[in-house]
Structure formats: C-alpha cells, structure tokens
A = this chain, B = another copy of it.
Amino acid sequence: MELIDGNQISREILDELKSEVATFSGRPPSVTFVRVGEDPASVFYVNKKQKVAAELGIKSHLQVFPETVTREELLGYIDSLNTDSEVDGILVQAPLPDHISDREVFNRVSPDKDVDGFNATNIGRLCQEDPAAFISCTPAGIIELLERSGVETSGKNAVVVGRSLIVGKPAALLLMMKAKTGNATVTVAHSRTADLAAACREADIIVAAIGRPGLITADMVKEGAVVIDVGINRVDDATKKKGYRIVGDVAFDEVAPKCSQITPVPGGVGPMTVAMLMKNTVLAYKRTQQA
C-alpha cells in the first residue's frame, strides 16, 4: 500500500506556480475573497487561501460582509468585481446565510473570473469538455492527485460516492472525459443507492465524497483499489485538546491495507483544493493578460 501524499503533491504544484508567477511582468495575479459572516470554518479556509496566495506572489483582497448583508448588496459587489480589470479571480466562500442563494451568487460571478468553478457556465463547459472551463478546485485536485501518482484511469471502473455539485458531479464528469486521466467507466452512487457495498466492490478507483465518517469499510473495497477520500468530518474525541478529530469518509485503518494507493485525511485531497485554486487564479490572470 502506497500513501498518496497530498501535502507533497500540492507543494510541488505551489512551487511550480511560484516559479511561474515570478516570471510575470507588470501587475501580479489578483484574487478577491468574499466572506459573509464569521463561520469559523470559513474564516479558517479563507485565511489559509490568503496565506498561500501571498507566498506565491498572488495579490489577494478579503471583503467581509456581515450576516445581515442583503442579496442586492452582495450581488452588487460581485458586479463591481466582475468589471474591475485589476481583479482576475473571485471566490465567494460558501456557505452563505439562508436568505441568500448560493447558486444565484455563484452564477453572478463572471465565468471568466470564476476560479472556484461553481458558475453554471463553467460547469457546462466542463460537460462540453471545453478547455476554457474553470474546473472546481476539489475535483480538479482529485484528478491531479491521480495523475501525479501514476494512476491509470482509462477503461477502469471508478465509483464516485456522493453527487454534490461541488465534488461528486464534476469529479464524475472529469473521470469520464476524453482525457489522459479520464476515460473511466464512472458510477455515481449516493444516499439513495440500494447497495453501496456492491457498487464499491466493482471499483478500481473509489472517490468518497459524501460526508459520512468511515462509511467506506474494508468489505466494500476490492483488493488493489485506489481510494481517494474527500471527506472532512469532525468526530468527537475526548482525547484531543479540541474535543474532536477530523476523519474522512473512509475507515482508513481497515481499508488502507487492501489498497494499492490511498489518500489520508488530513493531508490528502484537502491541500490540493487550495493549490488548484491558485492554479485557476494564475490561469485567469494569464487569460486576462492575453486578451
């Protein structure tokens, strides 16, 4: 069993990007983060993204709105970013308060600045296999992990557990694409799947992205499978100072011995998401400069 080290692979990507950014003349790439409210996870993630951007020489700005921001105000701010030629990338951190539709906000971001890849036009471009697509960061990170770990996907059975817009669906679309790390026979399983174990047992590659701690157990995994664990679940743990620990959707200890390759949680897919965000930001910048 070989561990797929997301920390190391993301480090490689960040180093590549850093070298590339250093060659840019004129203004640096720039990304604006929009956060609504003080959700601790959102605060943590946006901080992390800003730190990494700074390290790479990417300029970032954080705009924080209170929970009480109106839909009109938020959409108006996005419009102003869309037309600001100094802004290459825009990322609105989800979740948003209940009175504002995530989807409406994602779809308001200009497709050409949508470094998060959640805008309908970019998702559609992905479906069209259009190289102009910005691909959402977590699924793009999964493909990058597979590619850099030498995992063959063509003709293999891939089972994606979870059908979210953020991970499951785009990961499935990427895995079935006519592309180097694509051409897989892809099954999307989810909460309504009648026999998840049977579906998973057919898989050469499992992508677990359903948000249920330890759902994928050893009996569900074929000997030699590659397992990508996208889950980031908090479970109570009195032995930890914080009172919890973070676990994936895969029962790592029992599943790992059966795998040819597996990602840990943390240190697997997680760090890739930030790296791919930076990659998308640099891409957005390059497209602006070429236009």
Contacts and interface: CB of A to CB of B under 8 A. Distances in A.
A60 interface: no
Interface stretch (A8-16, A17-25, A42-50, A123-131): A123-131
B190 A185 contact: yes
Contacts of A103: 128, 130
Contacts of A194: 155-157, 185
A188 interface: yes
A192 B130 CA distance: 20
A124 to B, nearest CB: 3
Contacts of A193: 155, 185
Contacts of A188: 172, 176, 185-187
A120 interface: yes
Interface string A116-143: 0001111111011110000000000000
Interface in A49-107: 103, 107
A124 B130 contact: no
A91 to B, nearest CB: 18
A163 interface: yes
Give the interface size bracket for A toward B. Answer: 35 or more
B169 A127 contact: yes
A176 B190 contact: yes
A202 B202 CA distance: 11
B120 A165 contact: no
> Which of A120, A165, A190, A199 has the most C-beta atoms of chain B within 10 angstroms of its own C-beta?
A120
A124 B106 CA distance: 12
Nearest to A103: B128
A109 to B, nearest CB: 12
A173 interface: yes
A273 interface: no
A274 to B, nearest CB: 23
21 contacts: A103-B128, A120-B124, A120-B125, A120-B130, A122-B124, A123-B123, A123-B128, A124-B124, A124-B127, A129-B165, A155-B193, A156-B194, A169-B176, A172-B172, A176-B188, A176-B190, A185-B189, A185-B190, A186-B187, A187-B188, A202-B202
Given A120-B120, A155-B194, A185-B193, 16 more contacts: A119-B124, A120-B130, A124-B124, A124-B127, A154-B192, A155-B192, A155-B193, A157-B194, A157-B199, A172-B172, A172-B188, A176-B190, A185-B188, A185-B194, A185-B199, A202-B202
